[in-house]
């Protein structure tokens, strides 16, 4: 599966990130806790490499806690402050503010020593589409500022948001990169809904999810669909799930597209369980 696309607004957003990064003290990068490395935009890493950064592993409630802890350790071994976040948990939101203060503490102290009263720290928030950026911004600001949706590509332009008196946040649109060199990254991002479903073969993505779960979460998939790791024929698996979940056409034939929507919907909403699709290094 090759996914190659680069909508015009994303090219424009990349240029604006390059221009505006000079205005901020640090970067807040949002990744999906289910695929932390796959959901990092390599194109932006080059642009932002000289800025202090915190990585927020979003949607931690949908991810495997054991794997999330390993991923936190991975980022911290690489000298990057990382937090696992549920945007609906106020304690997690408060932790973000505390870490933001630490990232700018040295700069603020240096300004005070020079007799300059520092203003609020400034940060840029970045992430791929549908990673939960707009929801997080609304929680940080404690009011509805950014539009939210379950589909990628809602934010189309940059704007500043005040987070109490602690710091100012520059929002940016979700940006994907032109081509996924690693086919697995394409499958992982498609599975969690980063890429619009109409651009892909949902059956291919669903087959990837089923096979991954058979290998890594066999109990969860058996509990949900009565599918065990010994079932290898993907056609038979789709038929079994379709019959169990009533994904049938007139005449009793299984509709594979409906099966795909059921499995991917269960994965994305957590009904399949807490699953990480990218094992930590």
Q: Average pLDDT, whole number, for the chain?
A: 85
Q: For 163-186, what is each residue's pLDDT tens digit? A: 877 788 888 777 776 667 778 888
Instruction: Please give the Cα distance from 175 to 183 (Å, whole number).
Output: 18
Instruction: Please give the Cα distance from 28 to 123 (Å, whole number).
Output: 7
Q: What are phi and psi of 185, to 5 degrees?
A: -60, -40
Supply the CATH classification number for the domain 201-269: 1.10.1580.10
**DSSP letter, residue 198:** G
What local confidence, expressed as pLDDT, does residue 95 receive?
93
Instruction: Please give the Cα distance from 160 to 177 (Å, whole number).
Output: 24
Q: For 126-144, what is each residue's pLDDT tens digit? A: 888 889 888 898 888 876 6
Instruction: Please give the Cα distance from 219 to 217 (Å, whole number).
Output: 6
**Token pair recorded at residue 45:** 């890493």
- 8-171 and 201-269 agree in CATH topology: no
Domain 8-171 superfamily per CATH: P-loop containing nucleotide triphosphate hydrolases (3.40.50.300)
Give 231's contacts (C-beta < 8 A, 6+ positions apart): 214, 237, 240
**Token pair recorded at residue 87:** 């945007």
Instruction: Please give the Cα distance from 236 to 258 (Å, whole number).
Output: 15
* Structural domain boundaries in the chain: 8-171, 201-269
pLDDT of residue 156 exceeding 50 = no
Entry pTM: 0.86
Q: Are 150 and 62 in contact (CB under 8 A)?
A: no
Q: What is the DSSP string of 219-254?
A: HHHHHHHS--TT---HHHHHHHHHHHHT-B-TTS-B
């Amino acid at each position: 599966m090759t996914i190659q696309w680069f909508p015009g607004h994303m090219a424009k957003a990349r240029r604006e990130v390059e221009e505006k990064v000079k205005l901020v003290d640090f970067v807040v990068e949002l990744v999906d806790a289910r695929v932390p490395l796959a959901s990092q935009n390599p194109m932006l890493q080059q642009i932002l490499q000289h800025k202090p950064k915190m990585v927020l592993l979003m949607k931690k409630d949908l991810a495997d806690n054991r794997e999330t802890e390993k991923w936190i350790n991975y980022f911290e071994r690489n000298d990057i402050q990382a937090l696992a976040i549920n945007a609906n948990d106020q304690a997690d939101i408060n932790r973000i503010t505390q870490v933001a203060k630490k990232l700018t503490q040295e700069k603020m102290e240096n300004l005070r020593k020079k007799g300059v009263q520092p203003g609020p720290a400034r940060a840029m928030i970045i992430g791929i589409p549908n990673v939960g950026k707009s929801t997080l911004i609304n929680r940080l600001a404690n009011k509805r500022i950014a539009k939210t949706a379950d589909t990628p590509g809602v934010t189309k332009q940059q704007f500043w948001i005040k987070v109490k008196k602690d710091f100012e946040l520059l929002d940016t649109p979700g940006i994907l990169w032109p081509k996924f060199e690693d086919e697995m990254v394409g499958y992982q991002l498609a599975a969690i809904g980063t890429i619009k479903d109409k651009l892909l073969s949902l059956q291919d993505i669903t087959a990837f999810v089923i096979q991954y779960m058979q290998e890594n979460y066999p109990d969860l998939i058996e509990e949900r669909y009565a599918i065990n790791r010994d079932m290898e024929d993907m056609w038979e698996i789709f038929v079994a799930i379709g019959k169990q979940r009533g994904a049938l056409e007139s005449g009793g034939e299984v509709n594979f597209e409906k099966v795909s929507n059921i499995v991917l919907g269960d994965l994305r909403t957590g009904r399949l369980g807490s699953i990480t699709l990218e094992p930590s290094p």
